[in-house]
């Protein structure tokens, strides 16, 4: 058996009297695409927020590469190779495409004792990787707030690839995207896999999840009710599980 890249064991979370996660076990293997599904309020975002250091768990353990960890910020998770991509939050709106690609990991050049940002090199690298991925963004100097939803997703995924993330978490990446943009995002997630990068794909659209996931995990009101290879289930079965009372 391969050892898991990430393993979350017996995770509990309370928000006041709301028991949002009730002893959830969740793992992701290297290069695996895990679909995480469940109705509104099932606990999907809470689970990944705990993994990526946005909020702490009240109980439970997390292992990353076999080592017990507890990230205290998303920054720390990112430095360890876990990128999280939200439709809105992942990018800095008022910065250019290039600056977003290299945010927090800027390329520098030295002029004598002085270190400066190497804007030219970062722009060239951004152009190279985005075009390699088939993303046609009009200008690298464009502020990201003028990019479409699909372009933003693309930049965030390209960033994860460029910096060789080990795990990319996508929380509702296809919500509010058009047909062509959805297709592009789904194919980028497959591209992540082909480069050895694992991903967790959260979506209410079971067709999107089903088309790319290797394994699907279903949460119902804070409990894991299913954890099954995609090949052994169907959209119909998953729907039944999600809406069961």
Planar angle of CA 61, 62, 64, nearest 5 degrees: 155
φ/ψ of residue 115, rounded to 5: -105, 130
Question: Taking CB within 5 to 8 Å according to partner kind, which of ligand ATP, Mg ion, none is near residue 15?
Answer: ligand ATP
42 near ligand ATP, judged by CB under 6 A: yes
Q: How far apart are CA 186 and CA 63, in angstroms?
A: 27
Q: Which of residues 185-204 bind ligand ATP (CB under 6 A)?
A: none
* Interaction between residue 38 and ligand ATP (CB under 6 A): yes
Residues sharing a CB contact under 8 Å with residue 83, sequence separation 6 or more, in sequence order: 156, 159, 160, 163, 165, 167, 168, 169
116 lies in the binding site for ligand ATP (CB under 6 A) = no
Out of 1, 2, 17, 40, the only residue in the binding site for ligand ATP (CB under 6 A) is: 40
If one asks whether residue 45 binds Mg ion (CB under 5 A), the answer comes out as yes
Alpha helices, DSSP H, located in the chain: 44-51, 74-79, 97-101, 119-132, 149-162, 179-194, 206-212, 235-243
CB of 236 to ligand ATP, least distance (A): 20
First-to-last CA distance in the chain? 35
The closest alpha carbon to 7, from 20, 22, 24, 31, belongs to 24
Cβ closest to ligand ATP, residue 28 vs residue 217? 217
- Tell whether residue 44 is a contact of ligand ATP (CB under 6 A): yes
Complex with Mg ion: residue 101 or 156, whichever CB lies closer:
156
Distance CA 186, CA 38 (A): 19
Sole binder of ligand ATP in the list 10, 25, 41, 128 (CB under 6 A)? 41
Q: Which stretch binds ligand ATP (CB under 6 A): 35-43, 77-85, 177-185, 233-241?
A: 35-43
Judged by beta carbon distances under 5 to 8 A according to partner kind, the member of ligand ATP, Mg ion, none in contact with residue 17 is none
Residue 20 or 197 with smaller CB distance to ligand ATP: 20
Q: Which positions lie near Mg ion, rule CB under 5 A? A: 45
């Amino acid at each position: 058996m391969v050892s898991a890249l990430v393993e979350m064991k017996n995770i509990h979370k309370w928000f006041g009297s709301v028991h949002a996660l009730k002893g959830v076990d969740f793992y992701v293997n290297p290069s695996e695409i895990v679909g995480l599904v469940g109705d509104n309020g099932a606990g999907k975002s809470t689970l990944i927020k705990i993994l990526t250091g946005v909020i702490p768990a009240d109980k439970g353990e997390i292992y990353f590469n076999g080592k017990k960890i507890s990230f205290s910020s998303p920054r720390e998770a990112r430095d360890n190779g876990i990128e999280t991509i939200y439709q809105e939050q992942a990018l800095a709106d008022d910065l250019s495409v290039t600056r977003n690609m290299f945010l927090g990991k800027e390329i520098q050049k030295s002029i004598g004792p002085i270190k400066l940002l190497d804007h030219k090199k970062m722009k060239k690298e951004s152009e190279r990787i985005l075009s390699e991925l088939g993303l046609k963004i009009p200008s690298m100097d464009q502020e990201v707030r003028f990019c479409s939803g699909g372009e933003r997703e693309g930049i965030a995924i390209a960033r994860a690839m460029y910096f060789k993330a080990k795990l990319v978490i996508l929380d509702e990446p296809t919500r509010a995207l058009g047909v062509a943009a959805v297709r592009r995002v789904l194919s980028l997630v497959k591209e992540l896999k082909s480069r050895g990068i694992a991903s967790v794909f959260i979506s209410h659209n079971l067709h999107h999840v089903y088309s790319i996931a290797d394994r699907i995990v279903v949460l119902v009101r804070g409990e894991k009710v299913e954890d099954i290879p995609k090949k052994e289930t169907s959209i119909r079965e998953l729907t039944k599980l999600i809406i069961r009372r």
